[in-house]
Structure 1
Amino acid sequence: MIVSVFHRWCGTPLPRCVFLFKMCRRKMLNYSTSYSVLRRCWMKRLPVFSNNFKQQFSNLSTQSDKEVIDLSKFPVDRIRNFCIIAHIDHGKSTLADRLLEMTGAIAKTDKNKQVLDKLQVERERGITVKAQTASLFYTHQGQQHLLNLIDTPGHVDFSYEVSRSISACQGVLLIVDANQGIQAQTVANFYLAFETQLTIIPVINKIDLKNADPERVESQIEKVFDIPREDCIRISAKLGTNVEKILQAVVERIPPPAAIVGDPFKALVFDSNFDHYRGVVANIAVFAGHVKKGDKIVSAHLGKTYEVNELGLLRPEEHPTQKLFAGQVGYLTAGMKNVKEAQVGDTLYCKDQPVEALPGFKPAKAMVFAGMYPVDQSEYPGLRSAIERLTLNDLSVTVQTDSSLALGAGWRLGFLGLLHMEVFNQRLEQEYNASVIITAPTVPYKAVLSSPKLIKEHGKEEITVVNPALFPDRSVVSEYLEPMVLGTILAPDTYTGKIMTLCLSRRGVQNNMVYVDEHRVMMKYLFPLNEIVVDFYDLLKSMSSGYARARAYSTGKVICERLKDSIPRHLFEIAIQAAIGSKIIARETIKAYRKNVLAKCYGGDITRKMKLLKKQAEGKKKMRRIGNVEVPKDVFLNVLKKKDK
């Protein structure tokens, strides 16, 4: 069991997992310790066939039982909690690798790339999807400090991960590429930190690049964020240049957490994940008091009592400790087997010392909705369990049960964006071996009802519609409301004309246009979300080096034509229809495979030919009535991603 769990968790080849597990059993290690050793072997990329393998393995297995860090020697004034925020591909993960190396959390090696990106989808795509925590020990002016680092995603679809991470910190490192300068998500992440009143340390990365211009970037930071250029730190995370200055700035500029050791234990669950062997593992930030193994703790959300089984730091692998104290960040397991028992944003406290619950997090607003159905209805229970476990540590996904005449029982899921939806689907396949069909994504709309009967039925005049099949008819609605977004575009001024044309074609309304420097312009547009959710970003990149009634007929016809090209032919005719309510607005037909039943009839009685044709027609009619249409699971996304002709 433990071998198969470890194999699925890290993707290590099964024979290697079996070999490592046998080594654990030879050393008479119990299952829990064996699991910890296997994880350490994977995190350190321990070579199985090296000459000193046995010695390294022995050190790891001994370390699991004997090496325990005493966190009581770190008072609150020597603790710093900070996270790294930036636009995508500005070097957050690379900087995290260097910080881990310089503080001794991981060994220095050329293989240290994206160490904190533990998910398979993160390594394949080269992006950070989940915020990850690591605790660092750093000596400054003769005193050892505990630095809790959180590496966050850079893509806008995962901004909710950034907002949750910020809640557990007192400062941020704002990374800006020395070549690209300030980007859209740099601005968005800055305001997330600024509104929370965190200390912001600007860091200019990639100064080793040929076209790097740190002077220009410093001017942008000073103009856009009103941060003095003297506060900027120029580094090269790839080469490790000036990275030591960042650690010094973290200790000197970021204040310690406002936590009181003498108060009753109180902790915030800011992240969690499901472990097949141990159940729910909660990442917590301790706001007051302390907690140790064996303590009875209570969930403020459910009111249930648990016993702490294990706790410790993430360095970046799990490192057990005896206690966690106020101001510290770590992980905790307490026998929570149900995914609903560890809600992100929940407050944990000691059983005999109840406290006031922390405010938690604002709920995320899903902007893209899509139907998700199992390929086979017999897989429904397994897929439901997989979705529940995956949404445990991704609170931004909303789930509602749904059903379709064509696809059966399923769910209507809400995501923060199209990339968020794609990553969620990929994680289902890789981590839970689930195969699903995802329908075309849509955005939520609001309808103001005019029918007294419907108003009484819904209990309110304004309703939210996330499923196009449930869109109310125009005759019972006084007005429709569509979601709008304020988009920020930063680009070289040479592309301003093309970008403005694209924005106007997507019903964009310009709010503001400011020159960041002499060559870069920042434009702000108000967009209907439906116009930009699918392919706007791709068109914008190539240009620069929903459900609207007015366009329903043309949109319906285009989608039907694309589905006709994407769905494979069958032995019977397939009708593809686009409908608004009960009214069909577009139709395409996929012709059936043809078989010439008269090919071997040379002359002879005409009645025999008529009988053969009649029998063939009856067979096709029966097939249309009982036949199943196989729709490839990626058809819906592929149809929408195709560029307009």
Structure 2
Amino acid sequence: MTPSSIRNFCVVSHIDHGKTTLTDRFLELTQTVSRVKMTERYLDSNPIEKERGITIKLAPVRMEWHTDTVSQPYILNLIDTPGHVDFSYEVSRSLAACEGAILLVDATQGIQAQTLANAYKAINQNLVVIPVINKIDLPNADIAATRKALVDSFGFEEKEIISISAKTGANLIQLIKAVIERVPAPLGDSRQPLQALVFNSFYHSHWGVIASVRLMSGTVSKGDRLQFLGSGAEFLADDLGYFLPQLKPVKSLVCGEVGYIATGLKDISLCRVGDTLTGTALIGAALPDYQEPKPMVFMDLYPVGNEDFLREKTALEKLSLNDSSLHFVPVSSAVLGSGFKIGFQGLLHADVVQERLEREFDLDLISTSPSVEYLVDLRSGKTINITSASDLPDPTLINQIREPIIELTIFTPQTYLGGVMQLNQSHRASLINQQHFGTQVQLMYRLPLVELVSDFFGQLKSLSSGFASLDWRFLDYQPVDLVKLEVKLNRQAIDPLALLIVRLRAVATAKCLAIKLKAVIPRQQFELPIQVMLR
């Protein structure tokens, strides 16, 4: 096989615009999976993905496309990617392993927040972007408006845009031909030392840690001695092969191919996503690393029984193998016992991880309310990070407190513009920019991250009848006038109920919290004072 017959590409879009359905049709059309074995959302292997109808993890698959013009088939390495903002780091990892990207846009919704975010990620990595309009079979599809929005937003030419229906398979052959014609073959030289980018990893009960790799140069064969340049770990390639999407062993992988390598390693921390895999005899240069995803939302997860603490630790270690954004440290509480403080990319990420811990590892967990990371500048000149009210130092020692600020991008129909702007103003947001895309309006705000995790998304969906979408990225930290609400029951401080809140809202929040506690705490035969105090 020559690299000229290989095409590495991924599919990016906003959530629910049809990426996984398109992947299913590709698998059928290329006969990678027979119609008998084909199921809906075939590449979504996790039950949670199938139940929720969302893609959580990137999924690679190798397909073959035969033509009459060339003797050997084209190798199409496709990576299916998530669409939700919480899993945007998965998209970045997929793009690094590809030369091209299909930008999929729903003809009934048009360009949305994640459409812009993912498109610019692909453009910034110099990938060839193929614009595709999906769901043209629906009666409310507005193909002309969507086509115009793609031209105006990204500068595509009319002739570049392909209209398809992933559900019915309309125009999919035209799309595959466009991938072969427009996406360049991978560069690199098989005669050079091995350079393989690790873009994903998972644990196998027999083979140990398995690395998903894209070969940038060189070749690798079964039995070769390899090493990770980042961790320094060495191992023998016990097994290697392709994703069909099940593991298909082969004797060797060559430059430009996407595949897997079984390392035999049992320590999951030695195989880090973004590391470079090379040989031990001829050592290749390190490839550019991924930007380490920074946790934005923090929650404490405690097992109901303290005897399950070690089981929770083992479960988190296994999940973190192929989720490099998952960060956790042990914590203890006088009320809840021992558990872990876990950093997530967002609320959906936190929800999915907790559900996986409970279902896949049979754990019963208690979670605290989500929080964000604040920077506390002390009068001594030192800066500390805190994620809960119990970590806040004495107020006399504090110079200032800084909170994380994000750039929030919202797409909403013009009908709901007034309500969306009022929602942002009530959450301490400041407007940066406003643009119109046909009947859609793009709003850009500076917003404190803590406001986003307080059911902002649910309120946005409610007032826009589900039509508004959002994307966000971290900007910086800015000073905030923050106070601590301390809760005392029977004159005893209850740390898990303490809150960090903006001073302007402190009194109103304290009153609401006291009323709620009075409603939920059972009546006693003795006096039980409920106190919510400001510090």
| TM-based fold match above 0.5 | yes
Following the alignment from structure 1 to structure 2, what is the Cα–Cα distance between the partners of residues 234 and 514?
26
Question: Which residue pairs with 1:502 in the alignment?
Answer: 423
Contact kept in structure 2, 1:530 and 1:547, CA below 8 Å: no
Provide closer, same or farther for how the CA distance between residues 513 and 350 of structure 1 changes in structure 2, counting only shifts above 3 A. same
1:372-387 to 2 correspondences below 5 Å? 372-387=301-316
Deviation at 1:281, TM superposition (A): 1.5
1:25-44 to 2 correspondences below 5 Å? none
Following the alignment from structure 1 to structure 2, what is the Cα–Cα distance between the partners of residues 338 and 376?
27
Following the alignment from structure 2 to structure 1, what is the Cα–Cα distance between the partners of residues 3 and 276?
20
Following the alignment from structure 1 to structure 2, what is the Cα–Cα distance between the partners of residues 574 and 336?
56
For residues 332-389 of structure 1, give each alpha carbon's deviation from its aligned partner in whole angstroms, at most 9, with x where no partner exists: 1121112112111111111212222222211112111111121111111111010001
3-state DSSP class of the match of 2:152?
Answer: helix
Question: Which residue pairs with 1:27 in the alignment?
Answer: none
Which one of 155, 162, 171 corresponds to residue 226 of structure 1? 155
Contact kept in structure 2, 1:78 and 1:145, CA below 8 Å: yes
The one-letter code sitting in structure 2 at the alignment partner of 1:532 is L
Deviation at 1:401, TM superposition (A): 2.2
Deviation at 1:425, TM superposition (A): 0.5
3-state DSSP class of the match of 1:547?
Answer: strand
Deviation at 1:466, TM superposition (A): 1.8
1:324-343 to 2 correspondences below 5 Å? 324-343=253-272
Higher relative contact order (CA 8 A, sep 6+): 2
- Structure 1 unaligned regions, length at least 5: 1-72, 456-460, 584-645
Question: Which residue pairs with 2:105 in the alignment?
Answer: 176
Of the structure 1 ranges 169-178 and 485-494, higher mean CA displacement relative to structure 2 is found in: 485-494
1:560-599 to 2 correspondences below 5 Å? 561-562=515-516, 583=535
Which one of 98, 101, 106 corresponds to residue 33 of structure 2? 106
Which one of 188, 192, 210 corresponds to residue 121 of structure 2? 192
Contact kept in structure 2, 1:418 and 1:534, CA below 8 Å: no
Give yes or no for the alignment of 1:532 onto 2:486. Answer: no
Which one of 34, 39, 48 corresponds to residue 121 of structure 1? 48
Contact kept in structure 2, 1:442 and 1:547, CA below 8 Å: no
Contact kept in structure 2, 1:311 and 1:333, CA below 8 Å: yes
Contact kept in structure 1, 2:299 and 2:367, CA below 8 Å: yes
Following the alignment from structure 1 to structure 2, what is the Cα–Cα distance between the partners of residues 361 and 523?
29
* Structure of larger gyration radius: 1
1:113-262 to 2 correspondences below 5 Å? 113-140=40-67, 141-142=69-70, 143-262=72-191
Provide closer, same or farther for how the CA distance between residues 513 and 405 of structure 1 changes in structure 2, counting only shifts above 3 A. same
Contact kept in structure 1, 2:231 and 2:271, CA below 8 Å: no
Which one of 423, 442, 463 corresponds to residue 522 of structure 1? 442
Provide closer, same or farther for how the CA distance between residues 556 and 326 of structure 1 changes in structure 2, counting only shifts above 3 A. farther
Following the alignment from structure 2 to structure 1, what is the Cα–Cα distance between the partners of residues 196 and 326?
24
Deviation at 1:110, TM superposition (A): 9.2
1:1-20 to 2 correspondences below 5 Å? none
Deviation at 1:98, TM superposition (A): 0.4
What is the count of residue pairs matched by the alignment? 499
Of the structure 1 ranges 134-143 and 483-492, higher mean CA displacement relative to structure 2 is found in: 134-143
Deviation at 1:575, TM superposition (A): 7.5
Provide closer, same or farther for how the CA distance between residues 497 and 163 of structure 1 changes in structure 2, counting only shifts above 3 A. same
Say what the alpha-carbon RMSD is for the aligned residues.
2.0
3-state DSSP class of the match of 1:483?
Answer: strand
Deviation at 1:246, TM superposition (A): 1.4
Give yes or no for the alignment of 1:551 onto 2:478. Answer: no
For residues 169-201 of structure 1, give each alpha carbon's deviation from its aligned partner in whole angstroms, at most 9, with x where no partner exists: 111111000000001111111111111111111
Question: Which residue pairs with 2:202 in the alignment?
Answer: 273
Following the alignment from structure 1 to structure 2, what is the Cα–Cα distance between the partners of residues 570 and 101?
65
Q: Percent identity?
A: 41
1:399-478 to 2 correspondences below 5 Å? 399-450=328-379, 452=380, 455=381, 461-478=382-399
Following the alignment from structure 2 to structure 1, what is the Cα–Cα distance between the partners of residues 422 and 221?
61
Deviation at 1:570, TM superposition (A): 9.8
Deviation at 1:473, TM superposition (A): 3.3
Question: Which residue pairs with 2:492 in the alignment?
Answer: none
The one-letter code sitting in structure 2 at the alignment partner of 1:254 is V
Contact kept in structure 1, 2:433 and 2:445, CA below 8 Å: yes
For residues 551-579 of structure 1, give each alpha carbon's deviation from its aligned partner in whole angstroms, at most 9, with x where no partner exists: 23433443455466567889999877656
Contact kept in structure 2, 1:94 and 1:237, CA below 8 Å: yes
The one-letter code sitting in structure 2 at the alignment partner of 1:158 is F
Contact kept in structure 2, 1:172 and 1:199, CA below 8 Å: yes
Provide closer, same or farther for how the CA distance between residues 214 and 463 of structure 1 changes in structure 2, counting only shifts above 3 A. same
Contact kept in structure 2, 1:468 and 1:547, CA below 8 Å: no
Structure with the higher fraction of residues in strand conformation: 2
For residues 423-464 of structure 1, give each alpha carbon's deviation from its aligned partner in whole angstroms, at most 9, with x where no partner exists: 0111112222222211110011112221x2xx4xxxxx3332
3-state DSSP class of the match of 1:482?
Answer: strand
Contact kept in structure 1, 2:212 and 2:261, CA below 8 Å: yes
For residues 214-255 of structure 1, give each alpha carbon's deviation from its aligned partner in whole angstroms, at most 9, with x where no partner exists: 110011111111212221110000000001111111111111
Of the structure 1 ranges 367-376 and 86-95, higher mean CA displacement relative to structure 2 is found in: 367-376
Following the alignment from structure 2 to structure 1, what is the Cα–Cα distance between the partners of residues 523 and 283?
64
Question: Which residue pairs with 1:542 in the alignment?
Answer: 462
The one-letter code sitting in structure 1 at the alignment partner of 2:423 is L
Provide closer, same or farther for how the CA distance between residues 110 and 468 of structure 1 changes in structure 2, counting only shifts above 3 A. same
Give yes or no for the alignment of 1:84 onto 2:11. Answer: yes
Provide closer, same or farther for how the CA distance between residues 363 and 246 of structure 1 changes in structure 2, counting only shifts above 3 A. same
For residues 246-293 of structure 1, give each alpha carbon's deviation from its aligned partner in whole angstroms, at most 9, with x where no partner exists: 111111111122221001112111101122333212111111111111
- Structure 2 unaligned regions, length at least 5: 466-499
Provide closer, same or farther for how the CA distance between residues 473 and 226 of structure 1 changes in structure 2, counting only shifts above 3 A. farther
3-state DSSP class of the match of 1:99?
Answer: helix
Provide closer, same or farther for how the CA distance between residues 266 and 88 of structure 1 changes in structure 2, counting only shifts above 3 A. same
Which one of 371, 384, 401 corresponds to residue 480 of structure 1? 401
The alignment's TM-score, normalised by the length of structure 2, stands at 0.89
